[in-house]
Amino acid sequence: MPRTGGEPRVSIRERQRVLWQAPDNVSALHWLALAYMDVGELDNARDLLEGKRATFEQNALWRLSWAGGSGMSPRLARIGDDPRVRQILQSVDARAARRIT
């Protein structure tokens, strides 16, 4: 896989192509977000994930992409200090708590 082989730009182009053909491919979305983060394009990663929030909010892979920002993944930890990410995670936690009660 190019992203882990030191070629994140190649991975970015490949995943963008997949999403162009299949905009709701959550796997390509996840890997593209990771590739953006690998090259320091955090705004692109955030925008990509936030843009699909309504579609994938309940999807485990989408949540994993966001969860990395909370410190669970060193690769994604860079976005953990962003207030927008914290707000999204708090919102997800609040919804989960409401479902439990």
| pLDDT, tens digit, 9 for 90 and up, residues 62-77 | 888 876 644 445 555 6
Start-to-end C-alpha separation, the chain: 43
For domain 8-100, the CATH architecture is Alpha Horseshoe (1.25)
CA dist 79 and 75 (Å) reads 9
Instruction: Find out whether 4 and 27 touch, Cβ atoms under 8 Å.
Output: no
> Is the pTM higher than 0.75?
no
Mention every residue, 6+ apart, whose C-beta is less than 8 A from residue 78: 37, 40, 42, 69
Which one has a higher pLDDT value, 88 or 10? 10
Please provide the average confidence, as pLDDT, over all residues in the chain. Answer: 79
Which pLDDT band, with edges at 50, 70 and 90, does 3 fall under?
very low
Give the per-residue pLDDT at 24: 92
Give domain limits for the chain.
Answer: 8-100
- φ/ψ of residue 13, rounded to 5: -60, -40
- Report the pLDDT averaged over residues 83-92: 78
